[in-house]
Amino acid sequence: MKVKALISVSDKTGIVEFAKELEKKNIEIISTGGTYKKLKEEGVNAIEISELTGFPECLDGRVKTLHPKVHAGILAMRSNENHMKQLQDLNIDTIDFVVVNLYPFKQTILKDTVTREECVENIDIGGPTMLRSAAKNYQDVAVITDPKDYSIILDELNNNGKVSIDTKFYLMQKVFEHTANYDAMICKYIKEQRNDESFPNKLTLTYEKVQDMRYGENPHQRGALYKEIGKCIGSLTTAKQLNGKELSFNNINDTNGALELLKEFDEPTVVACKHGNPCGVGSSDNIYTAWKKAYEADKVSIFGGIVVSNREITKEMAEEMKEIFLEVIVAPSFAPEALELLLTKKNLRVLELPDITVKQPENAYDIKKINGGMIVQTIDSKLLDDYEVVTNRKPTDKELEDMLFTWKIVKYVKSNGIALGKDKQSIGIGPGQVNRIWAAKQSIEHSKELINDTIVEGCVMASDAFFPFADCVEAAHSAGITAIIQPGGSVRDQESIDKCNEYGIAMIFTKMRHFRH
């Protein structure tokens, strides 16, 4: 019985060369549609699938490989005498190689203008069926979905005259990765088309690997970066790296946090981040002043940190940045002179992200792995719907501006989190404390240590969640803080309100909490 290979691919990378090598080994090529046409044009002596099945392709190509002569030839177990006798009685030949990759569903849905009908028509039916049949019978059939594996097959055929069982088992794994990814993309597309925002009873997500990493959060951990299927506009996964070493696990995690905070601002803003927390934030009517504010907010923590900007990096900024040890700089663009300066630091990761201000969709998932499962929520896409002044004194326009500025910052501070702000500059940040008064004291102490004692006077305080006691108000008053923004909602809210009234501090409730664990 002659060895046969069935080839039907949408991604035709390397397929002609691979088919010709198979032909040299006296393997008969069977093919379909556009693949058959391509192979014939390139001189491969392929036969069309209809010659094998005795049945023409029909329904505009929707039915061509869904036939017993195809699937019996793939699924028959060569070691099973009864299977082989049935093939003989039915005049069916075995198929020993299945080379299939699927209709370009991903490429179709990513088109700027595409109809639902076009997307549905690019859902492959026969391809996944052949792949699953071949994978199930991996002991006897080599199934190839990835052009990168052609060389593995040819090397084994050249060196051993056959494909090893270990390689076939590896190829089986790749088949189910391929079809699972494909089905998950289809499911996601349909869910989006239906505007279905519910959490499904069975959640299947798919991502594509961008790169392996040298290690994970620590050197003894393995790590990799994966990208969502889609355009991912404004995402770090689409940034163009212009300089520096490969991004590490921690670089990516910290930079992503800095970018998400940056997206809250429309005016020229710079965010400096360290270990997932903002350490300096500045806004102004020009990007250089914003940079100066962010840097001067915490000249200590920015060492080895991340800097992101929502405007082009200027030469003046680059001259100062290159004198500091930074891990990553991200901006929508870089002035030529600025880039030239930054490129002199060979280890500095410089990333260009033109759509840096584009936010995630509101129904995007935020996912955390736990032992034995995961917890899923929608991203914290809102800042506040409205606010209520709860004290006798209303904030001044200047205080309100600073309160809303600082509220954006504290949203991205690890809980329990407190942030101080003044003149569109972060003044002190207290992140990740196990009680709120420690976070408040830390933010005040840091502001005095990092800037000076007097600048805290007249600044505002933002808290990511309510005050359980009035002690944070006491600390704010002692530091000279004049206004507070917090969610409210504690059973002891009135105590904090009364204390603010006693000290003449203005306080507003946002009625929206921003825990960040």
Catalytic pick among 12, 40, 136, 174: 136
Whether residue 223 lies inside any domain: the answer is no
Whether residue 205 lies inside any domain: the answer is no
Domain end marker among 380, 403, 433:
380
Domain end marker among 193, 223, 241:
193
60 backbone φψ class: left, alpha, beta (φ>0; ψ -120 to 50): left
Domain harbouring 355, CATH code: 3.40.140.20
Q: 374 and 268 in one domain?
A: yes
Mean pLDDT per 10-residue interval, the chain, length 517 residues: 88 92 92 88 88 74 76 88 88 91 83 84 84 94 94 93 94 94 88 88 90 93 91 90 94 95 97 94 97 95 96 97 96 97 95 95 90 92 94 97 97 96 95 93 86 79 96 95 96 96 98 93
Q: In what order do the strands lie in the sheet with 425-430?
A: 240-243, 349-352, 326-331, 305-309, 269-274, 277-283, 425-430, 418-422, 460-463, 483-486, 506-509, 388-389
pLDDT in tens, 19-29: 999 999 999 99
pLDDT in tens, 206-233: 898 999 999 999 999 999 999 988 888 9
Q: 267 and 358 in one domain?
A: yes
The answer to whether 432 and 414 are in contact (CB under 8 A) is yes
- For the whole model, what pTM was predicted? 0.86
- 289 exposure class (CB count in 10 Å sphere: 0-12, 13-18, 19+): middle
Quote the number of domains for the chain.
3
Whether residue 224 lies inside any domain: the answer is no
Whether residue 213 lies inside any domain: the answer is no
Domain enclosing residue 463, as ranges = 388-509
275 is catalytic: yes
Whether residue 517 lies inside any domain: the answer is no
Nearest-CA neighbor of 510 among 485, 491, 476?
A: 485
Catalytic pick among 12, 67, 188, 275: 275
CA-to-CA distance for 315 and 336, rounded, in angstroms? 8
Q: 428 and 373 in one domain?
A: no
CA-to-CA distance for 106 and 8, rounded, in angstroms? 18
